Structure 1
Amino acid sequence: MDTTSLPVRPATAFDLVTLVGKEFGPTEWYEVTQERVNAFADATSDHQWIHVDEEKAAASPLGGTIAHGLFSLSLGPYLSSRLLAFDRFPHGLNYGYNKIRFPAPLPIGSRIRMRVNVVAADEVPGGIQVTTTQIVEREGSDRPVVVAESLTRVVAAS
């Protein structure tokens, strides 16, 4: 996908069904900075040293601070909306996750991007549930930093 173009914006239940089995992405690169991780630590009160203490983390086997796994996961809605947007439906919401894995650490100073695979689009009471696999990859790494099966519920247009 040309990441300079607009994301795919399905408008009907049929549009969603036709996306099953397709991959979108990758997104543009997103830089993970110490400032962003510190802000996340402040917002969640998770100040574990491996995330925020640059001096102590530098002496650890990881060689520096790393982002929280949940920081990486929290970027899912932002990054995935760059690829697949549900804004043409009356309403949509993040319904949750079935599976989440953090296969590799995310060192501060890294750049990440996302790919999205549409796994299913199923009718549910009041709308459609879209299941996607979100894969967050780190530049220069052969292992993803996040693999998450995400659930989005959208209200189908009448």
Structure 2
Amino acid sequence: MIRFSQPKALAAAAGTRLGVSAYREVPQCDIDTFGELTGDRQWIHHDPERAADGPFGATVAHGMLSLSLVVPLLFSLFVVDGAALVLHKGLDRVRFWVPVPAGARLRLVADLVSVSIRPRGYVEATIAVALELADGPVACSARIRLLYREEERCTLATAS
């Protein structure tokens, strides 16, 4: 795991790989739970018998379920000390390349693309992420934008 001493320290690492996460399984029970929470009960996600004869040969994870795994996998790769707040500013260039079958294992590859120092103690990081299946292909890719707020530092005034 990479540790940054403060949000501004990210700037020195722009253009480098943040790392590759451990694999995480996507079991059918997670797919079912995600479908219940979102109301997406499409048969390609929840009906193994019908999905076996469908276009993917098995049930597959919702694209948005796969995408939601980016954040916990990303934060397993690095930590930024001295941040009072981290906001997810958005996602750019999201692409779903191949389906994620139930039971598949995914890992995240993350590259710190750019870092911008913003007014009022904010630092914006753009990170290219790719969710890779254990057998090689990229299932999903995107650029995630994170906005860090530096902790305010108090200085003690000394009496003269």
TM-score (norm 2): 0.89
Contact 1:17–1:120 under 8 Å retained in 2: yes
In structure 2, the residue corresponding to 1:16 is in which secondary structure? Answer: helix
1:156 partner amino acid: E
Deviation sequence 1:73-113 (CA, Å, 0-9, x none): 00111000001223531111111112200111111111000
CA distance in 1 between counterparts of 2:81 and 2:42 reads 37
Given candidates 104, 113, 125, the residue that maps to 1:110 is: 104
Given candidates 23, 36, 43, the residue that maps to 1:29 is: 23
Unaligned runs of 5+ in 2: 153-160
Matched, 1:58 2:69: no
Matched, 1:40 2:70: no
CA distance in 2 between counterparts of 1:13 and 1:94 reads 14
Matched, 1:132 2:127: yes
Give 1 or 2: higher strand fraction: 2
* Number of equivalenced pairs: 151
In structure 2, the residue corresponding to 1:134 is in which secondary structure? Answer: strand
Deviation sequence 1:20-45 (CA, Å, 0-9, x none): 01112211110010000101111111
In structure 2, the residue corresponding to 1:9 is in which secondary structure? Answer: strand
Deviation sequence 1:37-60 (CA, Å, 0-9, x none): 101111111111111111110111
CA distance in 2 between counterparts of 1:62 and 1:42 reads 21
Unaligned runs of 5+ in 1: 1-6
Identity %: 30
**Segment drifting more, 86-95 vs 118-127:** 86-95
In structure 1, the residue corresponding to 2:124 is in which secondary structure? Answer: strand
Partner of 1:10: 4
Given candidates 95, 98, 102, the residue that maps to 2:92 is: 98
Deviation sequence 1:131-151 (CA, Å, 0-9, x none): 00111100113x201101000
In structure 2, the residue corresponding to 1:36 is in which secondary structure? Answer: helix
Higher Cα Rg, which structure: 2
CA distance in 2 between counterparts of 1:70 and 1:77 reads 12
